[in-house]
Structure 1
Amino acid sequence: MPFQPAAHDGVAHCFSPGLLAFEHRPANASAATNTNVLIWVGGLGDGLLTVPYPTAIASKLPPNWILAQPLLSSSYAGWGTSSLVRDADELAQCVKYFRERRGPGAKIVVMGHSTGCQDAIEYVSSPSDPSAAASRTPLDAVILQAPASDRQAMLQSLGKASFDAANDVARQYVEDGRGEDVLPFRVTEKDFKKTPISARRWLALASPDKKGADDFFSDDLPDESLKKTFGAVPKGLGVCVLYSGSDEFCPSSVDKGGLVRRWSGFVKEAGGVWEEEFGGVVPGATHNLKGSSETVVSDLCRRVVGFLQKVEKGEAAHL
C-alpha cells in the first residue's frame, strides 16, 4: 500500500485538554446519521495518518459507522516516556466522549495496531490493576491488528549481545532510582533512532524476564501471563485478531496460527466472544500493510467491516 499524497477531510474532536481524535470523512461518506464508532489506535511512533490502511477502512465502512483516530500523549515520539496504563486512561476519555455523544445504543469498538493492540488489552483487562479496567466505559469489541511481540522484534533486530547489553544499562538505571531517566541514544538508536526512551519503558517493552508491562504477545509466555490478558477480557466482549501473515517484525520461528489459537482458548474461557469467521492470520499482510498489495488491503478491510457488521447485529458481542 504505497504512500499517496492527498488531502483528508475530517472532524477534530477535542475529547480532553490537549487530546483530540480525528474522525475520517471519506469522499463517499453518507449523509446518514453516524451512530457507531471504530476507534483506531496506532503503535510506537504512530500519529495522525502515519499508517495508510485506516483511510481505506474508513472509505468502506457502512454508513452508520465512523472511524476516529485519537492522538494520545504517547503518539509520535511520546511513547518512550509513556505507558500502557496512561494510554488506556486517555483512551477511556475518548471512549467516554463518543459514548456520551452517540448514546447508549451505539456500538464502540477499539482497533489496535501493533502496540496499539496492547493498549486495547490494557483497556479491557488491565493486568497490573484489574479494578482499573472495571471502571472504564465498556466496549462492544476489540480488534487486534498485527499484535506482534515487541520483545521478540527487538531481539531479532538488535541481536542477543546488543539486546542484553541494552537491558543491562536499563536495569542499572532502575536500580539507581533513575527509571524515568532517558537512556543514552547509543543504547536505543539502532531500533528507535533519536526517540527519548526511559529505562522503565525500555524494560517494559524488552521484558528480559518475560514479565515486562508491555509483554502481552510473545509466543513463549506462560499460561499464568495470558490469564491476566486474554483470559481477563470482560464476558461478552467481541475479540477479533488479525495477525499479519507477512509481519516483518515477527520472527519466522513463531507459529502465527497456533499462537492465535492459543489466545482464543483464554478468551473463550473468560466468556469473551472469539471471532472465527473474519479473524485469524491475514495472508500477505505486512506489519502495517505498507508494501502489501491492494488485494491484501481489501482483504483486511473486508474482515474489519464483516466483523463490525456482526458486532452491530449482536452476533460478535453481547453485553
Structure 2
Amino acid sequence: MYLQSTTFMAHTFPVTVHEYPSTRADGHPMYAYEHEVSSLAPTRNALVFIGGLGDGPFGVPYARTIAKKAGLGTPGYSVFEVRLSSSFSGFGYGSLAKDVKEISAFVAYLRKTLDKDKIVLMGHSTGCQDCMEYADYEKYGNERVGGLILQGPVSDREALSPVVDAAVLKGYVEYAAARIAEGRGDEMMPKGRLPDTFKDSPLTAYRFHSLAAVGGDDDYFSSDLPDDKVAAFWGRLQQPVLIVPSGKDEYVPAPIDVGKLVDRWKSFCKPGIASDLSGLIPGANHRVDDGSAQEWLAGRVAGFLASI
C-alpha cells in the first residue's frame, strides 16, 4: 500500500553500496545497500529487503533493527536493500514482473559475486506481492531463494474500499481496463480518474488496474479471493515462508480478520512450508513504527532464519 507522507528524524548510519549488473534496457547498473551488522564474523547468508509502494532503501524503519539481529546468528545474515526501478515514485511505471527480473539479477550477484550461501527475500506491504510473484519459478526461470518473509501483506483494492466510493472506483478500474484493451496500458491515468491516495505519483493504466482490480496482477492478499486462486498462490511455494502481518494495520478494513486470513493462507501451503513462527505483530501499525513491535518482529525473523 502507498504511504502518502511520513515524518523522519534526521540521523546517519553506515552502509556498503553495491553496484551490480541489471536487466535494464539502457544497460545502466543498479545499486543495493548492505547494512552494517553487529557480528564480527563474516556473514555467509543474505536477507534481501523489498519495500512497498512509495518505499525505497531506508524507507521502512525496522530494516536496521532486523539487521542487528540477523547478523548475530551462526552463520549470520547480512541485510541488503535494493533500489529497484519501481522504488519511490517509480512504482507507477512498474510491474511485479519487472521487479522479479531485477531482484533475480541481484540474487545472482549475491550468489556468484559475493558467494552468499542462503538467500532469503523479505517483503513489506507491496514487497510481499513481489515475494509471491518471485516464487513462480516456472514462469520466470529466476534465481531460486531459500525462504520468504511477508510483513504487512495487505490487499491494495480492499485498502481503497473505505476511502473511495465503490461505484467511483469501479469506473476508474473500467477506464484502466479499456486503455489496456486498446494496447495503451503504459499510458498515464488522468488525475481525475485516480483515488486521492495515488494523485501525487504518475500511474500507468496497467499498474492502477493491477493494484485496484479484482484479479489484477497485484491481487494476492484479498480476503474474498476464491479457494482455487488462493491454492494456486500458496500451493506453489517451494521454500519456507514466515507470515507476519501487523496487528493493527490501518490499511486493513475493520471487517477483515487477519488472523483467520493467515490461517487460510497457511492451510493451502504444502506441509512444512508455512513457519510456526508466523503471527500478527502485537500492536504494530503498517510500517511497524513502534520500537517494541520492531523488536518482536526482529526476534521472529531471527528465529525463522535460524530454522531454515
The answer to whether the superposition gives a TM-score over 0.5 is: yes
Displacement of 1:194: 2.2
Match of 1:314 in 2: none
Name stretches of at least 5 consecutive residues in structure 1 with no aligned partner: 312-319
RMSD: 1.8
User: CA 1:162/1:18 → structure 2, altered by over 3 Å: closer, same or farther?
Assistant: farther
Name stretches of at least 5 consecutive residues in structure 2 with no aligned partner: 1-5, 22-27
Deviations 1:39-95 (A, max 9, x none): 000010101211111011112223421100001111011111111011011100111
Q: How does 1:9-48 map onto structure 2 within 5 Å?
A: 9-16=14-21, 17-26=28-37, 29-48=38-57
Report the residue type matching 1:7 in the other structure.
T
Pairing 1:215–2:219 present: yes
Task: Pick from 53, 71, 77 the counterpart of residue 83 of structure 2.
Answer: 71
Is the contact made by 1:189 and 1:195 (CA closer than 8 Å) also made in structure 2?
A: no
Match of 2:175 in 1: 169
Match of 1:195 in 2: 201
User: CA 1:272/1:183 → structure 2, altered by over 3 Å: closer, same or farther?
Assistant: farther
Number of matched pairs: 294
> For residues 120 and 182 of structure 2, what CA distance do their matches in structure 1 show?
41
> For residues 5 and 306 of structure 1, what CA distance do their matches in structure 2 show?
31
Aligned residue for 1:267, secondary structure, equals coil
Q: How does 1:81-100 map onto structure 2 within 5 Å?
A: 81-100=93-112
> For residues 96 and 284 of structure 2, what CA distance do their matches in structure 1 show?
25
Pairing 1:298–2:265 present: no
Percent of paired sites with the same residue: 36
Task: Pick from 37, 47, 61 the counterpart of residue 52 of structure 1.
Answer: 61
Aligned residue for 2:186, secondary structure, equals coil
Displacement of 1:102: 4.3
TM (norm. structure 1) is 0.87
Displacement of 1:155: 2.0
Pairing 1:240–2:242 present: yes
Report the residue type matching 1:123 in the other structure.
Y
Report the residue type matching 1:43 in the other structure.
G
Deviations 1:214-247 (A, max 9, x none): 100001001121122111112xx11100011100
Deviations 1:169-205 (A, max 9, x none): 2123223332110001122250123211111111111
> For residues 191 and 272 of structure 2, what CA distance do their matches in structure 1 show?
42
Task: Pick from 228, 242, 257 the counterpart of residue 259 of structure 2.
Answer: 257
Report the residue type matching 1:167 in the other structure.
V
Moved more, 184-193 or 45-54: 184-193
User: CA 1:162/1:72 → structure 2, altered by over 3 Å: closer, same or farther?
Assistant: same
